[in-house]
């Protein structure tokens, strides 16, 4: 049995000795911090969307039962901890007391139950709720989840920031996707959303910090809101973001272009933070549409592409060439599996595969967006490389919400450029889940990947789960399910007067302040 005491103590220990020994820093309250991000969010209903542009905002507003610490490990957040039965079928969560929603209501077990049930219907990672048999609330502070079968990734799923399983008031949880009032328990509350402009948040003065911790830790820990307000501006043009940072109009950038970061290193008014690996650069392939539904054609794409050229141009040089669908050095990295099919760069082989596929000059649509410069650049280079082997390519560039919406359709695209960031950070469940279940990104379920997902999510033996991930990776390469180009790095940046800023998976605006 894993006890609440064990998980809670481990999470507190994870803060790190250096953090506990850190000298006291004078903290100032007040001011409005302005953050710039590349795209506008497709939704502020946190449960429903996997978009980074939404996550940057939503994780200031909403919280979850478990979160991820600085190293990406699950840690208690709205829960005090969890007791897990020896057979892995019963999870008993004890809730923190006195936590308030932004509407003033005190959170209790009925809110948690309703939120979990809603997530199973509309959640961006709804598959995590598939093993759930029943959710019980024996009292206001306790939620018991009973599973139909063991699911060792359940806490990992509940703690995922990808499409967070946000806890919202029970009367909101009965509503359909994107119909809720924006109400959470986080340190900032929603004020306004102006499309094509900004989102504004204000400090929630009724916020209940997690006193089990000394300071912030990843998406959890003890959070303190010092700023009066946050304005998150949508600025797809990299030059405008850089100029705004230099003039002081902007205080924090989600991403600073690599050449600009190199140029500004000597500027004492600006601090830059390099983060690699940040994401996989990928080319998602639509198996339900035209040529990319043919495995020989997909293998032709796999054989033709010079992936290092795509990475070098789309990232301005901040990248690494790795084939794995998990990061090297992590538990589920599958070693050399599939490496012989990575970055082949063989145009003769590609042309032979086009003949095998019976390709007859059908149009192939490469879908990219204008909000993320590397998406657009990767699309441009891919299109040119495929034209060189005789593929009739049309590049379509939309804004980010439109591109995201288009890729959900079975028609209108064949290749979609995407940075897959939060999923590999979390481990294997989100990555394998991206290509399996009721709505795989490629639009057609693959039986081998479905079996790998089943074994990954049900086996209690780590060795069996590792084998499932290795089998998934082998299938990804053998069938050219999608193309992994490499690992992307990013540079975050802040004005020097933003004290105690620490880079992470989003620009966290709690526990920092103006000097």
On whether residue 435 sits in a domain, the answer given is: yes
Cβ(482)–Cβ(341) under 8 Å?
A: no
Same domain, 83 and 139: yes
CA dist 402 and 369 (Å) reads 8
Residue 270 covered by a domain:
no
Q: Is 104 exposed, middle or buried (0-12, 13-18, 19+ CB in 10 A)?
A: exposed
Are 39 and 182 within one domain? Answer: yes
Residue with tokens 């590609």: 350
> Which H or E element spans position 33?
strand 32-37
Structure tokens at 27: 């903290």
Give the pLDDT confidence score for residue 8 in this predicted structure: 45
Per the structure, the count of domains in the chain is 2
Structure confidence at residue 25 (pLDDT): 64
CATH code, domain with 300? 3.10.105.10
One digit per residue, the tens of pLDDT, for the chain of length 515 reads 233 333 443 443 333 333 333 445 678 999 999 999 999 999 999 999 999 999 999 999 999 999 999 988 999 999 999 999 999 999 999 999 999 999 999 999 999 999 999 999 999 989 899 999 999 999 999 999 999 999 999 999 999 999 999 999 999 999 999 999 999 999 999 999 999 999 999 999 999 999 999 999 999 999 999 999 999 999 999 999 999 999 999 999 999 999 999 999 999 999 999 999 999 999 999 999 999 999 999 999 999 999 999 999 999 899 999 999 999 989 999 999 999 999 999 999 999 999 999 999 999 999 999 989 999 999 999 999 999 999 999 999 999 989 999 999 999 999 999 999 899 998 999 899 999 988 899 999 999 999 999 999 888 899 999 999 999 999 999 999 999 999 999 999 999 999 999 999 999 999 999 99
* 463 and 505 inside one domain: no
Domain-embedded: residue 471: yes
Q: What is the DSSP string of 455-510?
A: HHHH-S-HHHHHHHHHHHHHHHHHTT-EEEEEEEEEEEEEETTEET----SS---S
Among 167, 155, 162, 160, CA closest to 62: 167
> 369 and 228 in one domain?
no
* Shared domain check, 508 and 481: no
Cis peptide before 277 (omega within 30 of 0): yes
In a domain, 267, yes or no: no
Distance CA 266, CA 250 (A): 18
Q: Which two tokens stand for residue 377?
A: 């650049």
Domain with 80 in it:
4-11+28-235+497-514
Within 8 A by CB and 6+ apart from 21, the residues are: none
pLDDT at 24: 53
Rounded Cα–Cα distance for residues 355 and 86 (Å): 56
CA 505, CA 348: separation in Å to the nearest integer?
A: 41
Q: Give the tokens for residue 106.
A: 């005190």
Beta strands in 46-87 (DSSP E): 66-68, 74-76, 79-84
Cβ contact 422:52 at 8 Å? yes
Establish if 256 belongs to a structural domain: no
Length of the chain measured in residues: 515
* Backbone phi, psi, residue 498, to 5°: -90, 100
What distance in Å separates the CA atoms of residue 268 and residue 253, rounded to the nearest whole number? 16
Residue 100 lies in a domain: yes
Residue 149 token pair: 């079968």
Q: Which pLDDT does position 3 carry in this prediction?
A: 35
Strands 32-37 and 229-234: parallel
> Are residues 332 and 409 located together in one domain of the fold?
yes
| Residue 103 belongs to domain with CATH number | 3.40.190.10
Determine which helix (DSSP H) or strand (DSSP E) holds 383, and give its type and residue range. Answer: helix 373-387
Q: Using a cut of 0.95, tell me whether the model's pTM lies above it.
A: no
Query: Looking at the structure, do residues 458 and 507 belong to the same domain, yes or no?
Result: no
Residue 13 is predicted with a pLDDT of 38
> Do 508 and 473 fall within a single domain?
no
Residues 457 and 477 in one domain: yes
295 and 211 housed in the same domain: no
Q: Is residue 251 part of a domain?
A: no
Are 225 and 213 spatial neighbours (Cβ–Cβ below 8 Å)? no
- Cα–Cα nearest to 214, from 73, 33, 69, 425: 69
Q: What 3-state DSSP class applies to 121?
A: helix
Burial class (CB in 10 A: 0-12, 13-18, 19+), 361: exposed
H-run or E-run covering 217: strand 216-217
β-pairing, 32-37 vs 252-253, is parallel
Q: Same domain, yes or no, for 202 and 322?
A: no
> Are 197 and 289 contained in the same domain?
no
DSSP SS3 for 226: coil
DSSP string over 253-318: ES---HHHHHHHTT-TTEEEEEEEEEEEEEEEE-TTSGGGGSHHHHHHHHHH--HHHHHHHHHTT-
**Residue 477 domain-assigned (yes or no):** yes
């Amino acid at each position: 049995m894993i006890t609440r005491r064990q998980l809670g103590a481990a999470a507190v220990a994870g803060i790190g000795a250096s953090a506990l020994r850190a000298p006291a820093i004078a903290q100032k309250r007040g001011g409005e911090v302005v953050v710039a991000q590349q795209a506008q969010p497709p939704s502020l209903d946190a449960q429903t969307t996997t978009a980074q542009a939404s996550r940057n905002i939503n994780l200031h507003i909403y919280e979850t039962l478990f979160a991820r610490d600085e190293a990406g490990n699950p840690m208690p957040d709205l829960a005090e901890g969890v007791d897990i039965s020896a057979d892995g079928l019963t999870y008993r969560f004890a809730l923190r007391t006195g936590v308030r929603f932004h509407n003033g209501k005190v959170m209790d077990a009925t809110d948690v139950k309703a939120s979990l049930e809603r997530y199973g219907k509309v959640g961006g990672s709804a598959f995590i709720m598939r093993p759930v048999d029943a959710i019980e609330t024996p009292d206001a502070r306790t939620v018991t989840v009973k599973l139909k079968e063991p699911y060792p990734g359940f806490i990992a799923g509940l703690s995922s920031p990808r499409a967070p399983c946000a806890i919202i008031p029970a009367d909101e949880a009965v509503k359909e996707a994107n119909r809720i009032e924006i109400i959470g328990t986080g340190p900032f509350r929603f004020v306004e959303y102006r499309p094509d402009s900004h989102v504004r948040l204000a400090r929630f003065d009724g916020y209940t910090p997690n006193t089990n911790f000394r300071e912030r830790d990843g998406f959890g820990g003890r959070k303190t809101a010092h700023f009066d307000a946050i304005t998150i501006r949508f600025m797809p043009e990299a030059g405008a973001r850089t100029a705004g940072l230099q003039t002081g109009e902007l205080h924090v950038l989600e991403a600073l272009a690599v050449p600009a970061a190199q140029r500004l290193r000597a500027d004492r008014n600006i601090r830059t933070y390099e983060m690699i690996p940040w994401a996989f650069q990928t080319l998602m392939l639509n198996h339900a549409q035209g040529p990319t539904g043919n495995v020989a054609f997909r293998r032709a794409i796999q054989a033709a592409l010079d992936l290092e050229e795509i990475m070098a141009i789309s990232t301005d040089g901040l990248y690494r060439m790795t084939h794995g669908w998990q990061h090297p050095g992590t538990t589920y990295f599958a070693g050399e599996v599939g490496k012989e099919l990575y970055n082949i760069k063989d145009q003769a082989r590609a042309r032979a595969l086009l003949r095998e596929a019976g390709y007859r000059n059908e149009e192939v649509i490469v879908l990219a967006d204008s909000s993320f410069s590397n998406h657009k650049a990767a699309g441009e280079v891919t299109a040119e490389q495929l034209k060189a082997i005789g593929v009739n390519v049309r590049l379509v560039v939309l804004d980010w919400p439109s591109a995201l919406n288009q890729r959900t359709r079975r028609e209108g695209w064949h290749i979609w450029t995407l940075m897959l960031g939060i999923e590999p950070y979390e481990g294997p469940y989100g990555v394998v889940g991206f290509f399996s279940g009721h709505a795989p990104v490629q639009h057609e379920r693959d039986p081998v990947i479905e079996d790998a997902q089943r074994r990954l999510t049900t086996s209690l033996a780590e060795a069996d789960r590792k084998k499932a991930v290795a089998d998934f990776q082998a299938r990804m390469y053998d069938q050219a399910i999608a193309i992994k180009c490499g690992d992307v790095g990013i540079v975050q940046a802040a004005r020097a007067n933003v004290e105690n800023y620490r880079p992470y998976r989003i620009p966290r605006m709690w526990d920092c302040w103006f000097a």
